[in-house]
Amino acid sequence: MPEYKAPIRDIKFVMQELFDCDSHYQKLGYEDASLDMVDAIINEAAKFTEQVIAPINQIGDEQGCTWTDGKVTTPDGFKEAYQQYVEGGWPTLAQNVDFGGQGLPHSLNTAITELFSSANHSFAMYPGLSHGALATIEAHGNEQQKSQFIPKLVEGSWTGTMCLTEAHCGTDLGMLRTKAELNDDGSYSLTGSKIFISAGEHDLSDNIVHIVIARIPGSPEGSKGISLFIVPKFNVTDEGETSDRNAVSCGSIEHKMGINANATCVINFDGAKGYLIGEVNRGLNCMFTFMNVARLGVATEGVAAAEASFQGALAYAKDRLQMRSLSGVKNPEGPADAIIVHPDVRRMLLTQKSIAEGGRALIAYLAQLVDIGHASSCEEEKAAAETKLALLTPIAKAFLTELGLECTSHGVQVFGGHGFIKEWGMEQLMRDTKISCLYEGTTGIQALDLLARKILGSKGKILKAFGSEVTKFCLENADDDAMQEFIQPIMSFGGDWQKMTEKLGEKAMQNPDEIGAASVDYLMYSGYLTLAYFWAKMAKVAQDKLSEGSEEEAFYQAKIKTARFYFQRILPRAKGHAACVENGGQSMMALDADDFSF
């Protein structure tokens, strides 16, 4: 099993040097988030992930969760690790001080989340969904609901879930059958079943707070008739303490491809007591608060997977001896050279490195936008941040998870046959990561959201804020000879992005299927260009540091060289996606359904 080491230096580079988190935090009023405090928190998180969470990753995969008479038992070490997680105050980090949180920035918490996910994806998911539950209740719940549920969720003694999917109803939530009937006391009685509920039942916390969508009898059909409810595993008193068991049960757990140490549950509601959040029939609007938080979390999982797989592959490539270098012997004292000397191994390692580090920069940028939305006193600044988030969230979620999965495949490949063997841990990373491409909306769903709802729905206006930022950066560096290898491609690909968008708008007016046919390729093109922008920014910071005479010359040179690899070997992939968009959807729609025979 690879030994995970938190990439502290690179996290600090992104937060402190690329995005100047110190100025960002002070401007927003996060006075406690000094550089010393940020360093201390990251260092402590690194110790916790390396010493507590990472060591139980493999045993969690091997043992999985067990279900007996409705109760779920997590693998050895998970309960103890979660208790240490709570005692360490990690759940409270970025939560509201009014409910017992530390009030630190979301972006700092996001950096910590990456460490947890890299070290142990399954473990990280148990507290991970609590953040969405908290955000939903805080944004849409009434004062009584906030006082009842938020403090225990903040401290981590309770955890949260999101209950959307039903056996017949996945993405199309308007088809749901779970019903909610009004009780005399103003609560609701929920009846129905939900599937694929991550962390829906376990033995880590004292209570589990389910956020559930259901339909109140008499409500409109489809998505317009969906309401949202809080349904706890144990009923909760007005003072926020647990009482008797609610009519909520775990019918079974799924036997999955990966994340075996996280219980994915069938949850049955048999007249369970629940509490309406927000307005009747406005449940999806409230639910998007949860889903947007979760989508950024899943995007972070893609980066975490790329990092973990890169670390394992790099260590192996430096140690494994196979063949001689084509350009001459590099290890004359040994029978063969280390495989890291071979160009194809370098291709895979640099792909992993460029995606992990570029993705980390994108996630940090998005997390700072969330900070602005939470804490800025300027409504114009908040609106601009929300616009950029709306554009980039589906890109980050889909693009980074797809490439995260690719990076785990490279990790297996670098190990060769050993990568296919469980004891090395590389195949677990690949199995664990595939789910990130699926939940919180598949890649296809994210692509439709980006192209149909965001881009074409705004007639291209949503591109303006981020596009202007990229253009400004390019113009500011137009006379910098050292930056031209990065600036020119961005300008070229950016111009093509705009033209592609305009053509798609014209095609969609003639045939709406062109949107669906182009959407994933359009999103991937957008992702490659977006990451190119952040790699160019990192290259600029590295060049400036070298010009100042930094003693970390190797670190900054590696940034520039990795940026160059991304632009020369990864960014050109976007041209293939552009060609697919240009070729349209006629070929994929030409066969009748009955013609798909075998």
pLDDT of residue 283: 87
Helices 426-434 & 283-319 angle (0-180, nearest 10): 160
Q: HEC states along 528-568?
A: HHHHHHHHHHHHHHHHHHHHCCCCCHHHHHHHHHHHHHHHH
The tens digit of pLDDT for each residue in 458-515 reads 999 999 999 999 999 999 999 999 999 999 999 999 999 999 999 999 999 999 999 9
Q: Other CB atoms closer than 10 Å to residue 221's CB: what's the count?
A: 9
The beta-carbon contacts of 31-40 under 8 Å, at least 24 apart in sequence, are 32/102, 32/103, 32/104, 33/104, 33/105, 33/108, 38/108, 39/12
Over residues 135-142, mean pLDDT: 94
pLDDT of residue 598: 73
Cβ(447)–Cβ(522) under 8 Å?
yes
The tens digit of pLDDT for each residue in 550-578 reads 999 999 999 999 999 999 999 999 999 99
The tens digit of pLDDT for each residue in 262-319 reads 999 999 999 999 999 999 999 888 877 767 778 999 999 999 999 999 999 999 999 9
* H helix or E strand, kind and range, residue 363: helix 343-375
pLDDT of residue 24: 98
The tens digit of pLDDT for each residue in 8-21 reads 999 999 999 999 99
The tens digit of pLDDT for each residue in 169-219 reads 877 777 899 999 999 999 999 999 999 999 999 999 999 999 999 999 999
- Mind giving me the DSSP string for 172-239? -GGG---EEEE-TTS-EEEEEEEEEEETSS-SSSSEEEEEEEEB-TTPPSGGGG-EEEEEESEEE-TT
Cβ(449)–Cβ(368) under 8 Å?
no
pLDDT of residue 594: 85
Over residues 92-103, mean pLDDT: 96
pLDDT of residue 289: 74
Percentage of the residues of the chain whose pLDDT score is greater than 70: 100
How are beta strands 158-163 and 207-214 bridged, if at all? parallel
**Average pLDDT across the chain, whole number:** 96
Residue 440 among the catalytic residues: yes
Over residues 151-159, mean pLDDT: 97
Cβ(298)–Cβ(439) under 8 Å?
yes
Is it the case that residue 422 has pLDDT exceeding 80?
yes
The tens digit of pLDDT for each residue in 72-81 reads 999 999 999 9
257, 415, 425, 583 from 419: Cα distances, Å: 17, 5, 8, 38
The tens digit of pLDDT for each residue in 578-598 reads 999 999 999 999 998 888 877
Q: Give dist(CA 578, CA 526) in Å, integer.
A: 10
pLDDT of residue 447: 98
146, 434, 467, 470, 518 from 529: Cα distances, Å: 41, 23, 11, 10, 17
Is it the case that residue 456 has pLDDT exceeding 90?
yes
Q: Give dist(CA 562, CA 482) in Å, integer.
A: 15
Choice among 138, 301, 406, 440 that is catalytic: 440
Q: Is 0.95 topped by the overall pTM?
A: yes
pLDDT of residue 98: 95
pLDDT of residue 284: 82
In terms of Cα–Cα distance, which of 57, 297, 115, 286 is closest to 198?
297
